[in-house]
Structure 1
């Protein structure tokens, strides 16, 4: 198969793409300063910690956001501001960090995030909703699958993978795999679109201006699971998550409204 590295590259194809991580970190720090989170460990690894943001009053439920970065970059602290919309609507929001590739594999990351969901759910009663972006979209899609152990599955009410990587086989033909180290067997086992359709309601979300490979990945998952697909007008891979900052945005409403 041809080298697909450019097909899955985002930064060089988005105007000002290299500036987004610094902008996210600045917005995240400002949100934490205004809304200090609880810092909660959920495992023994130093990165197995989550930030929990609580609303005023009793939470309506728990939203868990899993960050992206091709399973090899970033942490919860880079995306704190994305809790703003849900917190304003009365939801508690947990953002886990997790061990990164190549120290662990993609499957181990999904299982770590399952433990993060379970730990956050000990702190917050009510329904559990999941969303995540890019590699994080992959993770929340995997958590929706029944083959991933999740002690609070009976509370899981909705999953919204944003720009998810649903078929990992193409990534074996990119330079990313020097770090991901995906074998064919793991790529098959950890591809959500190759798993049975979950019982939990799923809506797949992708930006209209994303790379064709990411639009394809979202479409494949939507078709495999017969799940609604929302194509966000004008959004690219780095700003498709911006709606989570706004309580009234269509993305926030889709993530929260069961």
Structure 2
């Protein structure tokens, strides 16, 4: 198998390379129209790794944390603000953290940074916490269910939703992007949530688009299979880049699954 092709997305999606600009425009438009925002909340010394908090107009029912993808080496919190729309309309606050990117950080370091960001966001909003992440972000939120990750607020987390997650990092060691990610065997073993037994048992809904690359379908199926606390939702007519769009719709099945 050619793993570079197996894990390529944009080449196999119509107008795939146009999506980042589309996301940035949607995110910017949402920030312009939604006034109840708290931007650049500090999380450590580096302001680029702060988080944004989107608040509903009424006291929040709880907190959603969205962790973005980009193979741990691209994007930031400002590219995804629009994905808060569905949960905010349902009365929840949504935190969107940035995190240090490869090659400046190893995946194990990013995992622990995200845990710290979740704990920091949790101090701003009371009530239950739900985690949702896409692609590499799906990997990162899944790692929050694992006991080796220090997470103070874990007892408040009632659901995790990895969307198109990477549950086993071993295949990525065979891709050109590993020149940036620097995954070795030890990190592939310790940072692959599908391979970790010591878990908190948090209810987990794994989502993936039916039109995604076979490798991503396999990754999602395997994570849901290996975790007894997980179920699998395969979403018809969705690929890797548009599978997250239902998060914008307060009446979507995806938002309903996240909030159940």
The TM-score range, normalised by the shorter chain, is over 0.9
- Equivalent residue for 1:5? 4
Equivalent residues in 2 for 1:238-253 (5 A)? Answer: 238-253=241-256
| TM-score, length-scaled by structure 1 | 0.97
Aligned to 2:24: 25
Q: Deviations over 1:139-189 (max 9, x none)?
A: 000012121110101111110000000000000000110110001100110
TM-score normalised by the chain length of structure 2: 0.97
Equivalent residue pairs, number: 256
Counterpart of 1:230? 233
**Alpha-carbon offset, residue 15 of structure 1:** 0.5
CA offsets per residue over residues 67-92 of structure 1, 9 Å max, x none?
A: 00000000010000000000000000
After the TM superposition, which residues 1-258 of structure 1 pair with which residues of structure 2 at under 5 Å, given as runs? 2-36=1-35, 37-39=37-39, 40-196=41-197, 197-226=199-228, 227-257=230-260
Query: What is the distance in 1 between the residues matched to 2:180 and 2:151?
Result: 27
CA distance in 1, matches of 2:16, 2:102: 23
Distance in 2 (CA, whole Å) between partners of 1:18 and 1:180 is 21
Give the Cα–Cα distance (whole angstroms) in 2 for the partners of residues 214 and 58 of structure 1: 37
What is the root-mean-square deviation in Å for CA atoms of aligned residues?
0.9
Q: Name stretches of at least 5 consecutive residues in structure 1 with no aligned partner.
A: none
Gapped regions of structure 2 (runs ≥ 5): none
Cα distance in 1 between the residues matched to 2:234 and 2:58: 34
Are 1:48 and 1:112, in contact at CA under 8 Å, matched by a contact in 2? no
After the TM superposition, which of the residue ranges 167-176 and 34-43 deviates more from structure 2?
34-43
